Amino acid sequence: MTRGQRKPKQPKYQRAMVVVAHADDAEFGCSGTVAKWCKEGMDVVYVIVTDGSKGIDDRTITPQQLASMRSDEQIAAGKILGLKDVRFLGFPDAYLEPTLEVRKAITREIRRFKPDVLITTSPTRTLTGRGYIGHPDHFAAGEAALSAVYPAARDHLTFPELLAEGFEPHKVKEVLIMVSDKPDFWVDVTKTITIAIQALAAHVSQVGDWDAEKMLRRWKRAEGKKRGVQYAEAFKRFVLD
Interacting residues with Zn ion (CB under 5 A): 22, 25, 135
For residue 89, give the amino acid letter.
L
Nearest to 186, CA basis, from 162, 151, 222, 143: 222
Nearer to Zn ion, 81 or 96 (CB): 96
25 or 188: CB nearest Zn ion: 25
Nearer to Zn ion, 141 or 195 (CB): 141
The answer to whether 206 and 214 have CB atoms below 8 angstroms apart is no
Q: How far is the CB of 138 from Zn ion (least distance, A)?
A: 6
CB of 144 to Zn ion, least distance (A): 14
Q: Please state the closest distance from residue 137 (CB atom) to Zn ion, in A.
A: 6
48: nearest Cα among 80, 96, 81, 82: 96
Cβ proximity to Zn ion, 25 vs 223, nearer residue: 25
CA-nearest of 170, 190, 188, 172 to 235 is 188
In Å, how far from its chain's centre is CA 132?
A: 19
Residue closer to Zn ion by CB (options 15, 22) is: 22
Q: How far is the CB of 120 from Zn ion (least distance, A)?
A: 12
**Phi, then psi, of 87 in degrees rounded to 5:** -105, 135
> Quick one: which of 51, 57, 64, 49 has its CA closest to 92?
51
| Closest chain position to Zn ion (CB) | 22
Q: How far is the CB of 154 from Zn ion (least distance, A)?
A: 27
| Distance from the Cα of residue 13 to its chain's centroid | 16
